[in-house]
Amino acid sequence: MTTTQPARPGEWFDTGMGLDDIDLAQYRMDITTDRYTDPDYVQREHSNIWLRVWQVAGRASELPEAGDWMEYRLLDQSFILVRGKDGEIRGFVNACRHRGNKLCVGKGNAKRGLLCQYHLWSYDLEGRLKGVLREKENVLTALDKEGLGLFPISVECFGGFIFVNPDPDAAPLAEFLGADVVELLSPYHLDEMDTVLDVREALDCNWKVVMDAFEEGYHISGIHPQLLQVIMIDPSTTRYRFFDKHSVSCAPFEVAGKKFGLEEQLEGIMSLPETFPSVTAVLPRFQELVAEYRDAAGDLVLPEGVTPRTLLQRATRETLTGMGFDVSGLTDAQMSDNHGWVLFPNFFMTVRAGEATVILAQPHESGDPNRCYWHIISVMWLPDEYKEALRAPRIDVSEPGEYKYFTALQQDYEQMPRQQLGLRNRTLEYMSLVKEEVVIAHYHSVVDRYLAGDREMAQ
């Protein structure tokens, strides 16, 4: 009796759209530059995008205990995220209902509730007004107190990330993401991964410059030449899937038979931990598998169908499974291939079995279109015995250049401000995208729909 392997969501890649399948006429390939430099755009984005969309504020693991809270700032808005005694994470406008004083700054714990330091009004972890200084003298009734709770915002978690929406009447997160996105991301078990890098820093560029930079691989040859040994820049092999607001794309992680010899491919894979840290745990098994294919003279002889890529995939599946991580819902290709996810408005993620790196981009609170924040969160599946040693706290970089990112990110970090300087030239009215940058074109079509006031976009 034979059994059929159930379909895995990642198999979309096998039938996904290539560049030649995409109707570029549906997108504008000339992107106006004023959206990166005009202060009026900042205000329009504030009202039409940021106050209406689900956005990632951090990892749920940042609030592990009841009473743990952290501040989430968005331009001139401030919100409190707090874990209740029931385990739920809730969000509130960070302003006391008495005189508007800011309740929380940074992070902390308030098991007994949130206290305003101005006049000592207090709120429970569900935002209800609990106590008022000299309550009897100030004649506050129970009904008064019931109507003076903190203003709520929408908060939900997915994949271990805390998503917030300033609109308390926002449609559920699942509707915003869409069923297909949820189905495709669920097998990665992102909620079971631990944070191994968490860095936030101000950059001298517009937040959309950050998003654009990670939505295409066209720049790899110019900015990341070290990656060429393991990433073949072959647009014909890239596959795309577009959703209403979001997208995913993938270029196969191999160079077999294209440019480098077998030994050079092996060298490239052995250097992967510099960019993809979780590969470190996989390399011992990978080396064992490679050794099985060396002849008496030490030469590597691979039979048809076996490549360094497939050996890396096998080593990854065996290693992660052996450590207790469930990769049964992922394809062999997902053992090695990074899928690039864009979740509107400011979430980019490369994800493969056992690890993911997320780049979040956010406008600067000054309102200056030439400044923004980027927030890098890398997560990895870790066995219990390594969690405490490798789990990373948040780092807020105050001095430019004082934090050194891993090689590829450092190269992007240095490149993006250079682009912003060019975009500020008034003679340059628009950017001219090439076919390989279709994800950028799709992304900006969503930006345009929000800025045009499309109310259906929030649903």
> In this predicted structure, what is the pLDDT of residue 454?
61
- Residue 459 pLDDT exceeds 80: no
- Residue 70 pLDDT exceeds 70: yes
Token match 């979430």: residue? Answer: 347
User: For 86, what's the count of Cα atoms within 13 Å in the CB-facing half-sphere?
Assistant: 6
Confidence grade of residue 377 (pLDDT, cut at 50, 70, 90): very high
> In this predicted structure, what is the pLDDT of residue 223?
81
> In this predicted structure, what is the pLDDT of residue 210?
98
Tokens read off for 218: 């066209």
- Residue 257 pLDDT exceeds 80: no
Residues above pLDDT 90, as percent of the chain: 75
Confidence grade of residue 132 (pLDDT, cut at 50, 70, 90): confident
- Residue 447 pLDDT exceeds 80: yes
- Residue-wise pLDDT for 318-361, tens only, equals 999 999 999 999 999 999 999 999 999 999 999 999 999 999 99
> In this predicted structure, what is the pLDDT of residue 250?
93
Please state, rounded to an integer, the average pLDDT across all residues of the chain. 90
Kindly report the CA angle at 241 between 165 and 4, in degrees rounded to 5? Answer: 110
| Phi then psi dihedrals of residue 265, to 5 deg | -65, -40
* 1-51+179-260+331-458 is classed CATH 1.20.120.1200: no
User: For 310, what's the count of Cα atoms within 13 Å in the CB-facing half-sphere?
Assistant: 8
Which pTM does this prediction carry? Answer: 0.92
> In this predicted structure, what is the pLDDT of residue 320?
95
| Phi then psi dihedrals of residue 373, to 5 deg | -120, 145
**Would you state the CATH architecture of domain 55-169?**
3-layer Sandwich (2.102)
- Residue 123 pLDDT exceeds 70: yes
Between CA 139 and CA 143 the distance in angstroms is 11
- Residue-wise pLDDT for 21-47, tens only, equals 999 999 999 999 999 999 999 999 999
Tokens read off for 222: 């110019």
